[in-house]
Amino acid sequence: AAFRCMYKDDCQITFQTRRNCPACRLSKCFNSGMQRDRLLTVEQKAAKRRQIEENRNLALNSNSKINEQEFQLSSSTFSD
């Protein structure tokens, strides 16, 4: 995805304005020393998002199993 500045390629990029012009923001990143090979492709972004979602689901499932085990343990303790 190629970005184009809608103004004159001279937008001021600050913390508050950084989302206004992706083209100038990326240009500023490159001028500050960011390497082009560090950009992720669309496929890499999708794979990273999938991995994050899988990890999140694993953590949620793990937490729910732990909570279930704790509930069963506390229930059996009270019924004794």
Q: How many domains does the chain have?
A: 2
Q: Which two tokens stand for residue 43?
A: 């496929």
Taking all residues of the chain, what is their mean pLDDT, rounded to a whole number?
86
Cα atoms found within 13 Å of the Cα of residue 73, Cβ hemisphere only: 6
Q: Which pTM does this prediction carry?
A: 0.54
Indicate if 1 and 27 belong to the same structural domain.
yes
- Is residue 31 domain-shared with residue 44, that is, in the same domain? no
Residue 13's domain spans which residues? 1-35
Same domain, 74 and 47: yes
Report the CATH number at residue 21. Answer: 3.30.50.10
Query: pLDDT over 90 for what percent of the chain?
Result: 55
